[in-house]
Every structure is written in C-alpha cells, then in structure tokens.
Structure 1
Amino acid sequence: MIPRIGPAPDATQRYQLRPGAYAILPLERRVLLTLQTGQTPDIQLPGGGIDPGEAPLQTLHREVMEETGWRIAFPRRLGAFRRFVYMPDYGIWAEKLCHVYVARPVRQIADPTEPDHHTIVLAPDDAIAALGNDGDRMFLNAYFG
C-alpha cells in the first residue's frame, strides 16, 4: 500500500491522478535540490509529472535536467507516496502519486530550463528542514537517517 502524506482528500472534490518521478541527489555530503520561485517559493526534490507514454525513469532524467541542468546516473527506486493537492499551475485538483528515486548527480551541463527553477545545494539537515512537502521530507530523512 502506498502511504498518503498530508491532508486527506476532500470527499466533495474530484481528483485527477498525476503520477510523477522525483530524485534524491546526494552530492558529497550535501543534497542537490530545486528552488521553485514565484508567488510562493518552494524547495523540492527535483522531478515532476510523468507524461503520457513516458516511462518513470525517462521522466526522472528529463525533469532533473529541466529543473537543475544536471545529468544523473544509477537511479534506484526507493518507494512512493500520495498527496492530494490543488495544482494552481494546471488549475486541477490532483492525487499526486510520487515515485521517489535516489541517483548520482554526474555533472551540471546547463542551467535549469524550467521557468522559475533554480538549483540549490544544502546539507542534509538543512534540506530536510527546508523541503516544502512532508513526503519529500520523509524520504530524505529516511535516506540520510
């Protein structure tokens, strides 16, 4: 069973399933993250939605590149969690099914191409405290234990 993290779904609301792939990217004794700026700045594990016809690992490589400019290697799936949220950028209520991986950052070859995304590197304790959602925090805490 995939655990739900965060508030329970509203029984009066319809949710669209939105699967995604996200990465824990250890970099020496720190972790590479995404800072999404805009109306509400948010620190996140790099990753995002799986497009129709796309495999989760394809998504992981694409999203990490778009959000950080880094190439990654040796992804390994750690697990998954669900969260029920409103996604203002898409105008939908979503059941996000978040598949979490750990991968090795190989090198940065470009700046992030995703609008309002910036790469940051934090110590594990600082990253855990700064992450914007409890699911990301749970996996990062378990990884660095």
Structure 2
Amino acid sequence: MIRRFGEAVRADRKYRVRHGVYAVLLLGDEVLITHQAEPEPEYQLPGGGIDPGESPLHALHREVYEETGWSIAQPKRLGAFRRFTYMPEYDRWAEKLCAIYLARPVRRLGPPSEPGHQALWVPARDAARILDNDGDRHFLATAISRLMR
C-alpha cells in the first residue's frame, strides 16, 4: 500500500490518476528545490508528470531539467506516496502517484525552461520547513537520514 499525504479523499469528487516523478537533489548541506508561482505559489521538489509513452526515469531527467535547468545522475528510488488534490492547470481532481528519487545534481545547463519556476539552493534543514507538501518533506527527511548512516 502506498502512503497517502495531504487532503483526505472526498466522496463527492471523481479523481483521475496522475503518475509523477520527483527528485531529492542534495549537494553538500543544500538541496535544490523549485518555487512554482502559478497556479498557486508553492515550494516543491523538482519533478512532475510522466507523459504517455515516457519512462519514469526519462520523465525525471526531463522534469528536473525543465524546472531547475540542472542535469542529474545516478537516480535511486526512495519510495512513493499519493495525494489527492485539485489541479487547476488541468481543471481536474487527481490522485497523484508520486515516485521519489534521490539523484546527484551534475551541472547547471541554464535557467529553468518551464514558465513560472525558479530553482533555489537552500540549506536542507530549511527546505524541510518550507516545502509545501507533506510527502516532499517526508522524503527529503528520508534521504537525509539515509545519507547520514
């Protein structure tokens, strides 16, 4: 069973499944996160939806690049969670199935290409407080604890 974070499922809503991939990107004691300005301002782990016919790892590389401008290497799956939320950009309710990876940031290739996204390096201890999603916070803490072993 995949752990749920966030809002409870509402019986009066029809949810469509949306598969996504997200990355914890640590470099020293900092983590690379994104700030998405629209549709609601939100700090989050970089990542997003898997397009039809796309593999999860290809989607991870693409989404991280689009939202941060960085290339990554050595992704290792940390786990997954689900959350039920409204996606205003698609005008639908979604059950987001989020696979989380720990990856190594390799090189900044340019600015984020996805409109409304800003890449931010922040101390990992601060990122755990400012990420707007309980699932993102949980997996950041999981990644940090694994690296400290």
Q: How far is 1:40 from its partner?
A: 2.9
Count of residues in Structure 1 that have an aligned counterpart in Structure 2: 145
Give CA-to-partner distance per residue, 1:24-43, whole Å, 9 cap, x none: 00012100011111353211
- Partner residue in 1 for 2:52: 52
Is 1:64 matched up with 2:61? no
Q: TM-score, normalised by structure 1?
A: 0.97
Distance 1:108 1:32 in 2: 11
Task: Indicate the RMSD between aligned Cα atoms, in angstroms.
Answer: 0.9
Runs of at least 5 residues in structure 1 that lack an aligned partner in the other structure: none
Distance 2:21 2:127 in 1: 19
Distance 1:38 1:16 in 2: 21
**AA paired with 1:68?**
T
Give CA-to-partner distance per residue, 1:60-105, whole Å, 9 cap, x none: 0000000000000000000000000000111110000000000000
- Partner residue in 2 for 1:141: 141
- Partner residue in 1 for 2:126: 126
8 Å Cα contact 2:31-2:122 kept in structure 1: yes
Q: TM-score, normalised by structure 2?
A: 0.95
8 Å Cα contact 2:21-2:49 kept in structure 1: yes
Is 1:91 matched up with 2:91? yes
Runs of 4+ in 1 over 6 A off after TM superposition: none
- Partner residue in 2 for 1:36: 36
Distance 1:141 1:56 in 2: 22
Distance 2:44 2:69 in 1: 15
Q: How far is 1:143 from its partner?
A: 1.6
- Partner residue in 2 for 1:76: 76
